[in-house]
């Protein structure tokens, strides 16, 4: 559980990423934005890596919540995926700077802790989607001629590409609207 100050630091870190990119995220810049000294900031987080881990943990918690919801959500596989993807796009729209953290695998390549956390998030999301697909296949509302791993990969990759394209284009299109179109196209791919 994060303290109020830690939450503030995470929010400021996300704002800095939004303004200056991931490269602009420094302890010095965070301290300056908050109005505290660098040593004071280190009392709350031991490093920039710890701040990024907190951001990733927040995203992972959201994914875990969605995963739990999907276990009790009584609907077709497509409706579950639609709900899950819609929630993710709403979150990205509300806080676009998180995209720079979640999709920065290359930047984290030499940071094992961050790489491991991103892998955990990807595995959680993949497991959730595969579970939805598997149940849909058992209920005969998802095609069975493509295995659940590949269908999950198609869906996750499509969502990631859409979100990253939105980010790289400076958010110049409506992510939620384009997301709805993508979700409807995915329905054609996964359904009979």
Rounded alpha-carbon distances, angstroms, from residue 86 to 3, 118, 182: 29, 21, 11
Q: What is the pTM (predicted TM-score) of this model?
A: 0.87
Q: What is the pLDDT of residues 81-100, one digit of tens each?
A: 999 999 999 999 998 988 88
CATH class of 1-46: mainly alpha
Identical topology for domains 1-46 and 57-190: no
User: Which among 176, 56, 77, 172 is positioned nearest to 128, based on CA atoms?
Assistant: 77
Quick one: which of 67, 190, 86, 81 has its CA closest to 140? Answer: 190
The domain segmentation of the chain, as residue ranges, is 1-46, 57-190
All residues at 6 or more sequence positions from 18 whose CB lies less than 8 Å from its CB, including other chains:
96, 97, 100
Which tens digits make up the pLDDT trace of 26-66?
999 999 999 999 999 999 999 999 999 999 999 899 989 99
Separation of alpha carbons 126 and 120, rounded Å: 10
| CATH, range 57-190 | 1.10.357.10
């Amino acid at each position: 559980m994060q303290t109020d100050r830690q939450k503030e630091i995470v929010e400021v870190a996300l704002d800095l990423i939004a303004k200056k990119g991931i490269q602009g995220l420094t302890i010095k810049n965070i301290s300056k934005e908050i109005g505290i000294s660098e040593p004071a900031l280190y009392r709350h987080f031991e490093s920039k890596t710890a701040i990024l881990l907190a951001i990733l943990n927040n995203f992972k918690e959201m994914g875990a919540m969605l995963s739990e919801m999907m276990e009790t959500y009584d609907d077709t596989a497509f409706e579950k995926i639609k709900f899950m993807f819609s929630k993710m796009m709403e979150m990205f729209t509300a806080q676009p700077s998180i995209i720079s953290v979640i999709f920065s695998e290359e930047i984290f390549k030499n940071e094992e802790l961050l790489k491991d956390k991103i892998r955990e998030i990807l595995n959680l999301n993949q497991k959730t989607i595969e579970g939805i697909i598997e149940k849909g296949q058992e209920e005969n509302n998802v095609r069975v001629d493509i295995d659940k791993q590949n269908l999950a990969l198609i869906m996750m990759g499509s969502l990631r590409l859409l979100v990253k394209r939105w980010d790289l284009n400076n958010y110049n299109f409506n992510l939620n609207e384009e997301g709805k179109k993508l979700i409807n196209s995915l329905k054609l791919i996964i359904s009979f």
